[in-house]
Amino acid sequence: MIDKEVASVAEAVADIFDGATVMIGGFGEAGSPIELIHALIDLGATDLTVVNNNTGNGEVGLAALLKAGQVSKMICSHPRSTNSTVFPDLYRSGRTALELVPQGTLAERIRAGGAGIPAFYTPTAVGTPLEEGMERRSFDGRDYLLARGLSADFALIKGRSADRHGNVVYNKTARNFSPLMAMAAKTTIVQVSSVVPAGEIDPEVVVTPGIFVSRVVAVADPAHESVLVAEGVSYP
């Protein structure tokens, strides 16, 4: 019988290894799997390459993972934050490298990585500094840049609910990159507010089909980054 549910966030992330590439869902705090990230901090895996749109806020979640010195490289579109100096300090001191990717190109690179597409042409960034190192080609009189698909060893994502097969539905704009990352990682780990019996999620509304999901863990009352930041929480 297929049952992807595991008992704890610690168990869910236990095999993340030093040097792994980890995609982390979320756009700002929406969809950020804070409890899984904190479990990764507890685990202590280092030299990680992390893919996320941003670089976290305050000293919780992704910002805390960065602060713990576990991330050697960030791949993201918008590493600035109004209320965190964690990444800027690491970047300026050379301790964490940055690969800056336009947001739509980042999303499509992840989608391609999960869909067996090694590279694709995009009109985004033609004639800008971010074109550097990319092959340019003209189609039908317009220039495009060749972008590579992006895959990962692990994806950490947050859903609203899932079943034992790993079918996932999300909450509002918390969906963002997560369905793409679920496809692009060898091992996809999903935290959800509730694990429901198979059949309870209408097949018509499943967003991430279970084939893309390796593990499901229930986090009944997930923390919100903005609340933790307002409370001045610093993890661990």
- CA-CA distance, 83 to 61, in Å (whole number)? 13
Q: How far is CA 193 from the centre of its chain?
A: 18
Give the shortest CB-15-to-other proteins separation in angstroms.
26
Task: Spell out, one character per residue from 155 to 194, where the chain touches other proteins: x when CB under 8 A holds, - when not.
Answer: ---------------xxxxxxxxxxx--------------
| DSSP bridge partners of 217 | 6, 191
Q: Please work out, in degrees rounded to the nearest 5, the angle formed at the alpha carbon of residue 71 by the alpha carbons of 65 and 74.
A: 105
Does 146 engage in binding with other proteins (CB under 8 A)?
no
Task: Spell out, one character per residue from 112 to 131, where the chain touches other proteins: x when CB under 8 A holds, - when not.
Answer: ----------xxxxxxxxx-
Structure tokens that stand for 51 in this block:
């893919």
Does 228 engage in binding with other proteins (CB under 8 A)?
no
- CA-CA distance, 51 to 59, in Å (whole number)? 18
Give the shortest CB-55-to-other proteins separation in angstroms.
9
Does 80 engage in binding with other proteins (CB under 8 A)?
yes
Give the shortest CB-26-to-other proteins separation in angstroms.
9
Residues 6+ apart with CB under 8 A from 203: 167
For other proteins, which residue of 12, 20, 24, 27 counts as binding (CB under 8 A)?
27
Residues 6+ apart with CB under 8 A from 83: 57, 58, 229
Residue numbers at the binding site for other proteins (CB under 8 A)? 27-31, 77-80, 87-88, 91-92, 98, 100-108, 110-111, 122-130, 170-180, 207, 224-227
